[in-house]
Amino acid sequence: MLDRRKVGWFILFRVLTISVFLVSTIFLDLQDSVVSLSGLVRLTVATYLFSLVSLVTLALTDRVTRTLTYAQIVWDVILVTVLILLTGGVSSPYAFLFFLCIISASVLLARSQAYYTASLCVILHGSILDLQFYGRLAPLGLSQIPAQQFGASYLFYLIFLYSSAFYLTAFLAGHLSERARLSETALKEKVIDFEELERLNSSIVSTIDSALLTINREGRIRVFNRYAEILTGCSQLEAYDRPLAEVLPGLSARLPELFGVSQGECEHTAPSGTRLVLSCKSVPLVGIDGDDQGAILDLRDLTEMKRLSLELKRADRLAAVGELSARIAHEIRNPLAAISGSVQLVALRDWVDEKDRKLFSIILRETDRLDGLLREFLAYARPNTPNKTPFGLRQLMADLCALLSRDPRLEKVAIENRVPEALSLVADRDQLKQVFWNLFVNGAEAMSGGGRIVVQAGAQREEGGNLVRIRVTDDGAGMDAEEVKRVFEPFFTTKQVGTGLGLATVYRIVEAHHGRISVESARGTGTTVTIDLPA
């Protein structure tokens, strides 16, 4: 491809050369005035002007570079021809300048253009010699005599010699510049490849989510990527050339084995103070000559993965225990119902006296309590995936209120349903009924003297998506901070006949709906339970 800068330099070089020639010719001319000085000066000025115009055009646009380059070569050939004519034709010392034209054509353009230029030179050079020999150049001030003195055969020999030399130059210069061009292009392609590879490499190293570092034979840090900086709180600059054991003390015990292929785990304290478990892989770092230069280390944070797998194991175990206990509870409830039924029947008999009846009522009360406990436990422990359907929340609350009005615990309690009519939800209706039942019962029990429970709800916009926020507020006894912390624990209760499973069940259901629940309360000021469910 044509290089504008190359053409530009060529024009400047020509200006320089022509200046040198002008000076040297004037000097020669002063010695033996054979040369037409005014013609020479005109030629030089014209060349200067042409060069200037070419340079300006070249700087302004790059669309005519090719044409401009052709024009330079043609101009040069004409320039040399005129120069030869001005400096004596046959006896001019400047015929060699044709070679320069051929070389520049091969360097600036291509091999074929070098041959065209050589042909042009052959024609022009031969014509000058011939025409001068036959006296046709006399009007230009070129005498026939020097050519006649050379003789026809010598002139023919000269023309043949120059023509051969022109073509030979075209061949050699064309060949050489072609090769130079090829290797230049190949080199350029390689440079591009290397740059691309380097960019790719460094972006991989800096964006990867594992700490990549290299150490030298002395165990000092060399390369230290972005993730390593995050893990250690040390920048690449700070870490450079520091001993590995100093930046990552957890690895100090394993240092000797790091220089071979190794894999293991180590503990590390993050800049925030959290303890992390890291996996550490190492491979030897081999130089270009195959020499041992240290090691490459790859550290990954396993903390979250370990925590998750532990949690998974625990959840698995809990699910198994939950299922088993749910089954046992279910099995107990049946005989319990039989016992309670039988006792009720026996208590009706005539021969049962007052004392026995009292004992029977204790049995009935306690079986009832046991049954209640088992019912709540079953609600809590039974594995339950929500069966989601759309429904109106306000209607659900109204149904619940109707149901609760028959419960003696809620006799003196007013429930204020402030849920907007339009608000609907996609959730397991029965499970949500259970949730609010438990919350209302808790509220009522906290307001033993009677009071008001307010239910509010509304759609909420959040980053993670839209959600529905429901708040249940009572003005009962409230809890202290220690109790608030423990309310969701199974079997945590402050009541004499409580099971401590109400809020634990609520928590489970909300969790199964991918929602959130929180409790705000203070002793004596009432309690607000807030539930966020995905809309």
214 CB-near residues (< 8 Å, 6+ apart): 221, 222, 223, 285, 294, 295, 296, 297
Residue 81 vs 442, nearer CB to ligand ADP = 442
Question: Are the C-beta atoms of 227 and 209 separated by less than 8 Å?
Answer: yes
For the chain, what is the radius of gyration of the CA atoms?
51
Using CB under 5 A, pick the residue from 294, 502, 515, 526 that binds Mg ion. Answer: 502
Nearest to 506, CA basis, from 444, 459, 439: 439
Nearer to Mg ion, 428 or 445 (CB): 445
When CB distances are held under 5 to 8 angstroms depending on the partner's kind, the choice from ligand ADP, Mg ion, none that residue 468 binds is: none
Q: How far is the CB of 307 from ligand ADP (least distance, A)?
A: 27
Total interface residues for Mg ion by CB under 5 A: 2
> Is 535 within 8 Å of 514 (Cβ atoms)?
no
Locate 46 and state its tokens.
Answer: 């014209």
Query: Could you tell me which stretch among 72-80, 127-135, 200-208, 498-506 binds Mg ion (CB under 5 A)?
Result: 498-506
**Contact status: 518 vs ligand ADP (CB under 6 A):** no
**C-beta neighbour count of 413 within 10 angstroms:** 23
Binding piece for ligand ADP, criterion CB under 6 A, among 45-53, 245-253, 292-300, 501-509: 501-509
Quote the least distance from Cβ 460 to ligand ADP, whole Å: 23
- Both structure tokens of 198: 């380097």
Which amino acid is residue 360, in one-letter code?
A: F
DSSP state for residue 140 in the 8-state scheme? G
Q: Name which of 238, 252, 251, 107 is nearest 179 in CA terms.
A: 107
Q: Give the interface size with ligand ADP as a residue count (CB under 6 A).
A: 23
In the complex, least distance from residue 521 CB atom to Mg ion, rounded to whole angstroms: 14
Q: Per CB under 5 A, does 500 bind Mg ion?
A: no
Residues in Cβ contact with 446 at an 8 Å cutoff, skipping those fewer than 6 apart: 474, 476, 477, 478, 526, 527
- For the segment 449-478, give every residue that binds ligand ADP (CB under 6 A): 474, 476-478
Minimum distance of ligand ADP from residue 409's CB (angstroms): 11
Among 88, 219, 250, 502, binds ligand ADP (CB under 6 A): 502
User: How many angstroms separate the CA atoms of 508 and 432, rounded?
Assistant: 11
Please provide the size of the chain in residues. Answer: 535
Q: Does 442 bind Mg ion (CB under 5 A)?
A: yes
Which range of residues in 184-192, 222-230, 381-389, 498-506 is near ligand ADP by CB under 6 A? 498-506
38 contacts: CB under 8 Å, gap ≥ 6: none
Q: Closer CB to ligand ADP, residue 174 or residue 502? A: 502
Show the CA angle centred on residue 379, arms to residues 435 and 455, nearest 5°: 10
CB of 322 to Mg ion, least distance (A): 19
Interface contacts to ligand ADP, rule CB under 6 A: 438, 442-443, 446, 474, 476-479, 483, 487, 492-495, 498-504, 527
Interface contacts to Mg ion, rule CB under 5 A: 442, 502
